Amino acid sequence: MKYYNITNSTGKETGRTYPQLHCLTQPYAHSMNAWQFPSFTPKLIFELEKTAQLTDVLSSAAVSSGNGFLVNSKVKDIFSDFNLMTHKYYDANIVVPKTGETLNYYWLHLCQPELSIQLDYKKSVFYETEWTFRKDIINIASYKHYEELKAKDKRAIFGVDLDEIFVTEKFNKDLDIFTFIPFTGQKFISSKLKDALENNKVTGLAYEETTEIKF
């Protein structure tokens, strides 16, 4: 099966401002992260930038984790027919200054860090980063090995990313959207999900076929 990296669109359909939204409740948004679901119900209110256009999926830099998407009910319904990694939806309000409307959207929060434990560390190809800049290929024997290396990083400059991704039999290959934090910020989707989004003319997303996935 082919897989694609899915991101927020920066094309003409989104207007002249990116990201399209600014957050009016930043303390809530900034308290969310990719490692766990919040212990509270976040109050998420965003305002559409004056030169931005409404799309089915909207971009915002406010949610600290970046591990999800702001989607409308149309997209939420499409996702309901597919197999997503562990996730939750949180209500989000979008204020449109030009019309005075407040629209109902949802923050799709993807959170399943244990997927990285299910990588095949013997086959996968990792490379070291410094301040996010690529350095050399590095051998990572296990997730615990990564944690040991990271614990020595007193300056918080060390990172690891993936060139080739292999998984063990514990990984659910029926997943239609998944990611492997902290090794990559990319969110991968199946060709089936991509086709469904495109066939339903979902706006606000971009896709690029990935070469990293090797299963």
66 and 154 both lie in a single domain? no
Counting as low any pLDDT under 50, the low residues of the chain are none
Q: How far apart are CA 37 and CA 139, in angstroms?
A: 31
- 29 in a domain, yes or no? yes
Q: Mind listing the pLDDT tens digit for each residue in 104-136?
A: 999 999 999 999 999 999 999 999 999 999 999
Q: Model-level pTM?
A: 0.94
Please spell the DSSP secondary structure of 97-126, one letter per residue: TTTTEEEEEEEEEE--GGGGGGB-TTT-EE
Please give the pLDDT value at position 63.
Answer: 83
β-pairing, 133-138 vs 125-130, is: antiparallel
DSSP-derived secondary structure letter, 213: B
- 1 in a domain, yes or no? no
Please give the pLDDT value at position 151.
Answer: 97
26 and 92 both lie in a single domain? yes
Last residue in a domain, options 164, 181, 197: 164
Range of the domain at 68: 7-112
β-pairing, 205-209 vs 57-58, is: unpaired
- 56 in a domain, yes or no? yes
- 180 in a domain, yes or no? no
11 and 98 both lie in a single domain? yes
52 and 133 both lie in a single domain? no
CA–CA distances in Å: residue 90 to residues 40, 41, 138: 11, 8, 38
Best CA proximity match to 171, nearest among 127, 114, 211? 114
- 23 in a domain, yes or no? yes
Last residue in a domain, options 145, 164, 183: 164
Last residue in a domain, options 112, 131, 150: 112
Please give the pLDDT value at position 64.
Answer: 65
- 159 in a domain, yes or no? yes
Please give the pLDDT value at position 66.
Answer: 65
The sign of the CA dihedral 35, 36, 40, 46 is positive
The sign of the CA dihedral 23, 29, 35, 41 is negative
Domain count, the chain: 2
96 and 133 both lie in a single domain? no
101 and 138 both lie in a single domain? no
Bridge partners of 15, per DSSP, are 52
